[in-house]
Amino acid sequence: MAYIKVARVLCLLIVAALLSVPVVSAQTPAGVPTVKRTVAPNVRPDSGVEMYKAYCAACHGADGKGHGPAAPAMKVMPTDLTVLAKNNGGKFPVKNVEDILRFGSPLASHGSADMPTWGATFRVMGDEAITKMRISNLIDHMESLQVK
């Protein structure tokens, strides 16, 4: 019986960790910026704009340029999402962005492990079809942010 209780507590802790999202940075008494993590809100999966605001803008900024309010607390500045196509020969790297959203990225140039792996978080919020919808709509919104 105690084993079941411990397993339930561990599951709840894992879910809470998966649902964490960085929010506006705060400063320690020494003036060093830090990131406060909170539970990711369950935003409508059919709105890439709303999901971007809720899940991405704190770090990447409302304009996608990587200057969100939590960015100063990051070890590596967040990626400028507006130049993904430009940096990929003029073609938006859909598969690469999808993989980063689903599985995270080990590349330092992406920004480090500070970025949540959204695929795991989204799977907790709904089934695989809803997860795919969320990722697809987020990608569509990020593609709309590209510089011309």
Give the domain range for residue 41: 2-144
Rounded Cα distance between 117 and 102, Å, is: 6
What is the reported pLDDT for 86? 97
Q: Could you read off the pLDDT of 97-117 as tens digits, one per residue?
A: 999 998 887 655 444 556 777
Report pLDDT for 109. Answer: 44
Q: Which of 6-15, 33-42, 85-94, 110-119 has the lowest mean pLDDT?
A: 6-15
Q: What is the structure's pLDDT at 90?
A: 97
3 state SS of 25: strand
Structural domain count, the chain = 1
10/102: higher pLDDT: 102
What is the reported pTM?
0.74
Per-residue pLDDT, averaged over 85-99, amounts to: 96
Structure tokens at 29: 């008494």
Convert the pLDDT of each residue in 29-51 to its tens digit. 566 667 777 788 899 999 999 99
pLDDT reported for residue 8: 53
Can you give the pLDDT at residue 61? Answer: 96
CA 69 – CA 23 distance, rounded (Å): 8
Neighbours of 148 (CB within 10 A): 4
Non-local CB neighbours of 65 within 8 Å, separated by 6+ positions: 80, 81, 82
Residue reference for tokens 């697809």:
136
